[in-house]
């Protein structure tokens, strides 16, 4: 079953200068879908356009069959879609506990129970719950960001380069955790620079270049594809203009 | 000297109340709002009007609360004025700032705020006259706390300080204990992330104006209670309040509180060495000193 | 008849002097995007500087150096530039609100210092200045006409200088920085230094206007450097259209005419008890002019010809990571 579909998306910050020039994508439910591509291909823009942070001027986005093109970003959570930005994805001046209470503020009586459930899932965060989130290590920050996303019980999580700036070990942990969420029925759509690791975990992969779809297919196939291998997996890096 | 210290703390508490709202709005909407100090004037005059109305409604209300000159009716008027001033701040945003914002002119907002300040200040002057007004004609004598060093304090001043500190303490509880407070801090730190965390930015802007306007009104009434009310109150306080936000670091609420006290103290202590005529220039010297020593203020973060 | 002509010359002289100040502001705001909240400080520095340097000695007053007039005028402009350089150095690298607040502050401080320091004239202002060539031209209409021509020549010179400047590579750089600082930076230019240069240059021009103003009245006092002058000068630029020098001059004449006419009408036709509030009414009006223009015609009445630079087009690419 398809959870999230984007069709012919045209989007950009300035009306006449689209960064995405008609990109399509669909993310299967309870699967990991990864978007890769060279710098400037529009990967982050695509995920931001879905999240309502970049205006979409053409095309449509559907979530479980219902149209959600150009949503108000603050209403995405209510639709069951969580978005984890690439950097600055936690509130540094708040404590870890306050970060979680903030996203749980509309949960009413359940809030405390749900917060404790998250602390059970992430014991490392529970130990530091009264510390300022800004004091966390990179990997822990990323887990706090994921915990904040999970707080709203999302059906879809959009992640923008979750492994950026992390040590290889921490990156692997975060990606594996994202993968494990699919077992609970969560759909994951992520942008990654860390192509090899991402392809190993992902089910399906889209390659973008210059705001357009380039190739897509099962992640396994792309991992073994010699051309993709040469361009993205350690072979000569080709930079698209 | 000791008198200057005490007066400085008192003025500081008033500046702090004004600076809190200014720093929040300035950080979130990213413009130096030169009309913020006019909210103090609106608050002071609104309380004057409400005070008169309450006095007319019930004869017991205009009774002073000993040993203050503050009356019961003025206390009620203060609360009503805080609400009204908050609403006026929202209204000004709706009528002017929001529309200028929509046209994309971040810098035009500064111009607009000057225009708004001129309009508010002079309309108040046209309505209430250019002469100073007082909440109470009763003379409440200052109490001589000590003769050597000589120290005079009016009961109203003590009340003002306590009330201002109480308001700031309530704000502190809200910021550190409630999810609404977390939302305010979240918006101040990272508006985009706040938005994807489910916070409605437009609603927060309205709330920030309400809070900022309410606190400004309290500051205006306290100023009127310990000095006098006049239409150029905003003009005289705009620079000290800006100095307070710069000392604290633009965007930092706690910085604004501390900045207010520091500016109040510095301005009054400066009078020990400078003739009083120079006091309007002191906030500028403080701003210069901060810009040289610590450009982002005590608690501010670098943000371009 | 001679009365009307004499008034027109008087009006045109003041309007031309103010036009020079508005042109200075246009360089800062219209061409560079720098907000100056304290135009009067730079105007005032030029005025006080000129009179102190060019005046005759007075008891208890600084100066009276009796320099030749043009040298005194240049000195006044230097004073304005110096104040601008100090304020600019401290604030120009920071968020734009800091410049707005600091310039507003410098104007308040300037007025306060002038009002309270007897050596700088105090509340009475600077006296003892002889208008140049007064002995040759007398004190009457001839002198005023000659002075108007002098001001007009300086206005035209300033105008031509600024037009040249904005066509030059430096001018293109200013616009590039106004539109997109990052892009300009990537060209290897230091935006702070360019902005500081523009800020100081604009302030020197305001200083020139201040010097001429003080010369015209042979007098300057703290009453002449009140914040209202800053608002008037802004209103002139906003009405004329920021970025456009021709518009700036037209806006100045228009607003100055409206200001004097409204003042005259209020003093002539308003009842006596209202006349006390003439200032308040005029301030409200000028507030509405500023806000109204920003809301309904932000490009001004005589807008700048649109120049879309390459850097604006590149902006969207830069923000995509």
Candidates A92, A98, A104: best to mutate against B (most CBs of B within 10 A) is A98
> Is residue B300, in this structure, part of any structural domain at all?
no
Residue of B nearest to C116 (CA): B277
CB–CB contact B114 C277 (8 Å): no
End-to-end CA distance of chain B: 40
C203 within 8 A of C81, measured Cβ to Cβ: yes
CB–CB contact C298 B117 (8 Å): no
CB-nearest to C35 from B110, B250, B280 is B110
Residue of A nearest to C319 (CA): A13
DSSP character string of chain A: -EEEEEEEEEE-SSTTS-SEEEEEEEEETTSEEEEE-STTSSHHHHHHHHHTSS-EEEEEEEETTEE-SS--GGGHHHHTEEEE-SSS-S-TTSBHHHHHHHHTTTSTTHHHHHHHHHHHH-HHHHHTTTSBGGGS-HHHHHHHHHHHHHTT--SEEEEE-TTTT--HHHHHHHHHHHHHHGGGT-EEEEE-S-HHHHHHH-SEEEEEETTEEEEEEEHHHHHH-HHHHHHHSSSPPPPP-
Where do the domains of chain A lie?
Answer: 2-87+157-232
For residue B118, pLDDT over 80 is answered with: yes
Please write the tens of the pLDDT for every residue from B55-79.
888 777 778 887 787 888 899 999 9
Of chain A, the percentage scoring pLDDT greater than 90 comes to: 71
Please write the tens of the pLDDT for every residue from A60-88.
999 999 999 999 999 999 999 999 999 89
ipTM reported for the complex, 2 dp: 0.90
Please write the tens of the pLDDT for every residue from A165-180.
888 898 999 999 999 9
Please write the tens of the pLDDT for every residue from C9-66.
999 999 999 999 999 999 999 888 899 999 999 999 999 999 999 988 887 788 778 8
For residue B203, pLDDT over 90 is answered with: yes
The model carries a pTM of: 0.87
Candidates B177, B182, B183: best to mutate against A (most CBs of A within 10 A) is B182
Count: domains in chain B:
1
CATH of span A2-87+157-232: 3.40.50.300
Return the CATH number at B217: 1.10.3470
For residue C314, pLDDT over 90 is answered with: no
CB-nearest to A88 from B190, B198, B201 is B190
pLDDT at residue B139, rounded to an integer:
67
- Please report residues of B whose CB lies closer than 8 A to that of C29: 107
- Please report residues of C whose CB lies closer than 8 A to that of B106: 96
Closest approach of chain A CAs to the CA of B199, in angstroms?
A: 5
- Please report residues of B whose CB lies closer than 8 A to that of C286: 115, 118
C: neighbours with 3+ CB pairs under 8 Å? A, B
Where do the domains of chain C lie?
Answer: 2-225
Q: What is the mean pLDDT of residues A3-28?
A: 91
Domain assignment of residue B203, given as a range:
2-293
Residue C183 pLDDT class (50, 70, 90 cuts): low
Residue of C nearest to A39 (CA): C321
Which residues have C-beta within 8 Å of that of residue C158, sequence separation ≥ 6?
C20, C23, C24, C205, C208
């Amino acid at each position: 079953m398809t959870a999230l579909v984007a069709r012919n998306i045209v989007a950009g910050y300035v009306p006449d200068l689209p960064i995405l020039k008609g990109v399509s994508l669909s993310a299967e439910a309870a699967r990991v879908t990864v978007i890769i591509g060279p710098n400037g291909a529009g990967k982050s823009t695509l995920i931001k356009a879905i999240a309502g942070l970049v205006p979409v001027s053409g095309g449509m986005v559907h979530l479980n069959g219902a149209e959600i093109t150009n949503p108000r970003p603050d209403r995405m959570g209510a639709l069951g879609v969580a978005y984890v930005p690439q950097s600055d994805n936690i509130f540094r001046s708040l404590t870890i506990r306050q970060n979680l209470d903030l996203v749980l503020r509309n949960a009413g009586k359940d809030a405390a129970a749900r917060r404790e459930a998250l602390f059970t899932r992430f014991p490392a965060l529970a130990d530091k719950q009264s510390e300022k989130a800004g004091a966390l290590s990179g990997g822990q920050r990323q887990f706090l960001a994921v915990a904040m996303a999970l707080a709203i019980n999302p059906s879809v999580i959009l992640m923008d380069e979750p492994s950026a700036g992390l040590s290889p070990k921490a990156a692997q942990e975060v990606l594996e955790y994202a993968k494990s969420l699919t077992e609970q029925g969560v759909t994951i759509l992520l942008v990654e620079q860390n192509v090899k690791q991402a392809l190993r975990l992902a089910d399906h992969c889209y390659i973008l270049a210059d705001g357009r779809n380039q190739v897509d297919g099962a992640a396994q196939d792309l991992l073994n594809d010699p051309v993709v291998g040469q361009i993205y997996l350690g072979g000569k890096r080709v930079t698209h203009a | 000297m000791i008198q200057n210290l005490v007066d400085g703390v008192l003025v500081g508490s008033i500046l702090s109340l004004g600076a809190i709202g200014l720093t929040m709005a300035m950080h979130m909407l990213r413009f130096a709002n030169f009309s913020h100090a006019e909210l103090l004037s609106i608050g002071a005059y609104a309380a004057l009007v409400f005070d008169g109305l309450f006095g007319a409604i019930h004869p017991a209300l205009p009774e002073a609360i000993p040993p203050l000159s503050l009356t019961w009716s003025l206390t009620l008027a203060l609360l009503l004025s805080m609400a009204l001033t908050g609403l006026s701040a929202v209204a000004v945003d709706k009528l002017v700032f929001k529309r200028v914002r929509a046209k994309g002119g971040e810098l035009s907002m500064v111009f607009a705020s000057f225009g708004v300040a001129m309009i508010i200040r002079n309309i108040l002057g046209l309505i209430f006259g250019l002469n100073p007004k007082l909440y109470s004609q009763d003379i409440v004598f200052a109490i001589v706390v000590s003769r050597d060093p000589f120290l005079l304090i009016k009961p109203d001043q003590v009340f003002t300080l306590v009330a201002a500190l109480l308001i700031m303490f309530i704000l502190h509880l809200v910021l550190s204990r409630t999810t609404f407070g977390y939302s305010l801090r979240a918006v101040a730190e990272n508006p985009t992330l706040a938005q994807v965390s489910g916070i409605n930015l437009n609603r927060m802007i309205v709330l920030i104006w309400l809070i900022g306007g309410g606190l400004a009104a309290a500051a205006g009434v306290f100023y009127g209670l310990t000095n006098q009310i006049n239409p150029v109150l905003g003009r005289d306080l705009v620079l000290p309040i800006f100095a307070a936000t710069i000392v604290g670091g633009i965007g930092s609420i706690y910085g604004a509180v501390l900045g207010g006290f520091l500016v109040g103290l510095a301005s009054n202590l400066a009078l020990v060495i400078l003739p009083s005529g120079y006091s309007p220039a002191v906030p500028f010297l403080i701003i210069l000193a901060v810009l040289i020593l610590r450009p982002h203020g005590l608690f501010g973060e670098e943000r371009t | 008849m001679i009365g009307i002509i004499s008034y027109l010359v008087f009006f045109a002289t003041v309007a031309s002097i103010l036009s020079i100040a508005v042109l200075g502001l246009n360089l800062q705001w219209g061409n560079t995007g720098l907000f100056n909240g304290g135009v009067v400080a730079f105007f005032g520095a030029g005025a006080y500087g000129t009179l102190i340097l060019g005046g005759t000695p007075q008891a208890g007053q600084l100066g009276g150096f009796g320099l030749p007039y043009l040298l005194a005028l240049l000195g006044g402009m230097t004073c304005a530039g110096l104040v601008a350089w100090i304020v600019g150095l401290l604030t120009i690298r920071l968020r734009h609100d800091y410049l707005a607040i600091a310039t507003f502050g410098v104007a308040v401080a300037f007025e306060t210092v002038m009002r309270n320091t007897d050596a700088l004239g105090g509340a009475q202002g600077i006296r003892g200045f002889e208008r140049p060539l007064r002995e040759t031209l007398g004190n009457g209409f001839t002198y005023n006409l000659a002075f108007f021509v002098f001001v007009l020549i300086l206005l035209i010179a300033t105008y031509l200088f600024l037009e040249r400047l904005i066509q030059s590579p430096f001018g293109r750089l200013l616009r590039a920085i106004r539109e997109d600082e990052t892009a300009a930076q990537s060209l290897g230019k230091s935006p702070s230094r360019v902005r500081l240069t523009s800020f100081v240059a604009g302030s020197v021009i305001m200083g020139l206007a201040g010097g001429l103003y003080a010369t015209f009245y042979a007098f300057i006092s703290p009453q002449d450097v009140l914040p209202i002058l800053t608002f008037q000068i802004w209103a002139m630029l906003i009405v004329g259209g920021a970025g456009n020098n021709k518009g700036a001059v037209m806006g100045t004449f228009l607003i100055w005419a409206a200001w004097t006419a409204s003042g005259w009408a209020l003093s002539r036709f308003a009842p006596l008890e209202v006349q006390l509030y003439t200032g308040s009414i005029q301030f409200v009006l000028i507030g509405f002019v500023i806000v109204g223009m920003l809301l309904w015609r932000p490009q001004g009445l005589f807008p700048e010809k649109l120049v879309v630079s390459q850097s604006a087009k590149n902006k969207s690419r830069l923000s995509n990571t």
